[in-house]
Amino acid sequence: MKAFRRLLLLGLIPLSGCHSVLMSPSGDLALQQRNLIIDSLILMLLIVVPVILMALLFAWHYRASNKKAHYDPEWSHSTMLELLIWSAPLLIIIALGALTWVSAHKLDPFRPLDRLAAGKPVPVDAKPLEVDVVALDWKWLFIYPEQNMAVVNELAAPVDRPIRFRITASSVMNSFFIPAMAGQIYAMPGMVTELHAVINKPGEFDGFSANFSGDGFNHMTFVFHGLSDDDFAQWVQKVKAGGGELSRDEYVKLAQPSEQVPVHYYEGVAPGLFMAILGNCVPAGSTCVDNRAAGTAVEEGAMNSGHDSNGTAAMPMATTQ
């Protein structure tokens, strides 16, 4: 099966356009998604190829010049032929349905990873790298809660370490897509989608928006760096030395529509900023659309500033502080 996959892959690469990254991914999740595409194609070809071959064979065999071909104008039924015609497609449909059902659960982006690669399970003590993703007009903001830093239009993660993305948008629906690592995940204002993924090879990989979102959509691109643990630590230090804090006021300025925004680093992030973005209540004194987001934003801010946050989440309405 693996040999047939490789052979089929060689035939598919020329059909995939100039960029064959979808057929040669560098992340295990994208690899499993590619294998799902190939396996589904193989199952469908089990019907398509014989039908095409038989159509050509019948046309050749029953050509007008072939006087040996048996002609039976009274023929109307064959039980064996009916069984073949109906049973083969039915079996393929059952196989495709089972494959789709299993894959839909196994590759659910909300589902934590159970392996880093084939034959390499996730270590019990492995801690995922947390990254909060915000689709802005027209740039990407990546917040690293553990490192307390943020980056515009650049992303990095250690090789073979699970990554947990929390994804949202500031204004309109967008789509977060790194083809080498995983499939696209929609980013929607007021909602959080998740993606659990891993990158298995070091290198630089393209990331972009896969959903049209306005005039600057074409420039919503970024580079994703797959790094070793040491290189990732150095990258974190570079970010920490690269700029000031991403305060709420600074975020309001950053969220204004702009195109071709260069990479920018923030050495610190305002407490509770991501949840305030989710609740559309970043400016001080504004009311959060989602009370849960409001409570969490205020709670995170209080925890990070050392104040008591008891009772905040239970308030009927909440405002950012």
pLDDT at 285: 79
Lowest-confidence segment of 15-29, 75-89, 229-243, 297-311 by average pLDDT: 297-311
Residue 35, classed as helix, strand or coil, is helix
Hey, is 249 helix, strand or coil? helix
The pTM (predicted TM-score) of the whole model is 0.80
pLDDT the model gives residue 297? 46
CB neighbourhood size of 29 (10 A):
22
**The predicted structure's pLDDT at residue 159:** 98
Tell me the average pLDDT across 273-277. 95
**What is the location of CATH 1.10.287 in the chain?**
21-66+75-106
Asked if residues 274 and 304 have their Cβ atoms less than 8 Å apart, the reply is no
Residue carrying the six token digits 């084939």: 118
Lowest mean pLDDT among 6-10, 63-67, 281-285: 6-10
The superfamily in CATH containing domain 116-270 is Cupredoxins -  blue copper proteins (2.60.40.420)
Segment 95-99 mean pLDDT: 94
Where is average pLDDT lowest: 206-220, 235-249, 276-290?
276-290
pLDDT tens string 282-316: 987 788 876 555 445 445 544 444 433 333 233 23
pLDDT digits (tens, 9 = 90+) for 131-181: 999 999 999 999 999 999 999 999 999 999 999 999 999 999 999 999 999
What is the arithmetic mean of pLDDT over 262-271? 96
Give CA–CA dist 280/294, Å, rounded: 9
Starting at the edge strand found earlier in the chain, the sheet holding 139-144 runs: 193-197, 163-169, 129-136, 139-144, 149-152, 264-266
Residue ranges matching CATH 2.60.40.420 in the chain: 116-270
User: For residue 145, what are its two tokens?
Assistant: 């809660």
The sign of the torsion formed by the CA atoms of 81, 84, 89, 90 equals: positive
CATH topology of domain 21-66+75-106: Helix Hairpins (1.10.287)
Residue 135 CB burial class (10 angstroms; 0-12, 13-18, ≥19):
buried
Q: What percent of the chain is predicted at pLDDT more than 90?
A: 70
Q: Which segment of 74-83, 175-184, 246-255, 266-275 scores lowest on mean pLDDT? A: 74-83
